[in-house]
Structure 1
């Protein structure tokens, strides 16, 4: 056996590819588990990682277990499999037989100590599932087709026994859950997503959620207007990007928006059942303006030549990828100094995920010298400085350059004006060799969404430049 197969992480990764939605995948993993001791645990971990329902676990116990308590040995076998379960999709319901087997007898230790995700339809028979502790659970999704009387008590108990939840989704089409006390949500201290479109959140719960440092998505119902004494300073959702509000009338939504701050919300949905009056619409628009102040992004440190210079010692580098939540400050001379140490460079990616957040960047002449210094370079992500670049450059083939047959340029958050489009397009057209593949894109990543001039610059790079390149010179493809 190869030594690499004795490393469990490698074996687990390989076996993960066996877990495909095919008829023989479970049998293959079971066979691997019986092959040798090295393969047993990784194969069983993959085999039991996701369960469509509880029936596979129930089948581990003898038939008599549903009528009487099982022996300790039988429960040890059951726990050896249950501890491997990471995700349970019980959306199609839980059979009564499965419940009888798994909760007789009730154990003092968690049956699923490593369960991370739990999705199921709530019925009266599923109450036991919410009364079971899941110490590692981070995601809960419950579909309530009808609200049984025990649902509120069981969800409150669940908040105490499963304290590490990040994602909470409780939904039920057409189900009225306004009687449920929402303060059970306050038991969780690190929520990222809260989707409860039929549950009305009170002021205490909203204040608690506004303190969540990682809350990015929120959906709930408004049955009544928030009290006037709400202070906007106590309801600042600093990281919230997705907000959905449901209400019978528009007025409660307008009132709430006038008392909360949503500095970075990117998606907002307000759903109402009755037709609003003109006055209601005016109040709503006024509330939106109040809740969405001009966003001033947090100051970012600057990343530059001094940070990259230590990597010049690696002279055989072919792929370089730096992505950090920082500004980037590089001049032509600094980039060329760096490139001189990497003559075999094929891929140069400098902060494609976040952009440079600068009006400057690398000039077209600097980009040309970079391609001369690194003739194998075929994939580039940097900011191109187009300020004042309005003069059509001379034909590049006359300079004796040999361009790669494939060239992809990500212009990131490069600022550009309409006056510079013809000149920069002529320059880029000169980089395209006959029968070559050339692609160009800019302003693509979410990390650049808040930067100024994003929409105009993206249109000019995406539509204006390729059209001008096509008019300037024939090419196989410009994306």
Structure 2
């Protein structure tokens, strides 16, 4: 049974524990005190149990249609759904509706996961269909929003066209956070959803749509509307001025028009912007003299853009000073040259970001059907190129995820480790490797782990064909790392050398279970894969 429905069983266990103690160890006064304590904590406990829900299944079960003790959880839920959706004579009792509403008001966060089990309705998630069917009954018993205290609403997966009626019901609550996967909605569905947000989502402070994980054709902000109830184009840019409480916006692969960007730039409290716009788009919007923006994005802490012309971003940074970002993420399809990246980092290090910056990421973003299986050796980054980053002492995440050549050594890794003692994640180069044989060895990796004790993940190709450093009391141990990406780093082919490497890796990474490298992205590297597989086998069987 779902934990939200087990409170009676929990209370029964508590009272049995006290009641059946050896004779004389409890009194009626003890039982009374226990009952009063349980009663006092009943409401806070229920609020905690029901605060966050991943499905509407537990809530639907409170109607009491099926006997959860006599049927399996899935069978009971399927029967409940079938009765509500297909039995025209079914109508929940007033008591059941009041019980349903009493639990619905406790829900403050919904991160909904679609139910793929049921075949009753092909196009609409069954749970959402049930809520739509129940809505009129619930309103007749308890007027007002079905979820009066709902604040955070998220959908893990794409909403279908027929889910819109349920979305209307959920948006009647004064939610402050709305998130969903935008990817597979067609233009008509997108316009309907945006129209709903513009009408019902006026209290939204945090709006999160599809992450910019790949490039899709952005919705044209000038495209005529297909939403017949509105005589003007319904685009995300159109509703930005309506969302007056908006403080954080992630709009995936959608680009905002100039007026929307100007509206966001002029807000006193706006902290996060992620869009498919480029630096040139932002610069054109905020430098427009008719906009009269004195301090554009004055409170911005998180900026995530799509940028193929890094020189434009340098201009944007210079124009927006003073700016104290905490997170900067730049997606690109064309990587910057070494000199351009060095200039960008140098320009960025001259602002007020030195103390505030926590994440610096440059990510190579591909189209939906594109894969990367080679390194662009026309561009090579070395320690001097990346050296301006060393002036940021509070970095937690550094990602230079671009398929270019890298020429780094143990000394460069040591300098980074000492400069960023709080580092949690480090990625230098693409997972397919550096093109050049990596000069970083296990000595450099050890120093990285020593000086960055909070490190949780790293992607730094390293060569393992040299003797590993001796294991001493100062050798780091990282139990939280179970998988390594070695890029184009090579493991030894000799059995004794493989055993020495396996012993070292087993000591440093006690729970290591796998290694990934360039062979995962490029054919013809079976020998490299087999060498690393042999090392992993030794770790699991002989170390």
Q: Please, what TM-score do these two structures have when normalized by structure 2?
A: 0.43
Q: Please, what TM-score do these two structures have when normalized by structure 1?
A: 0.48
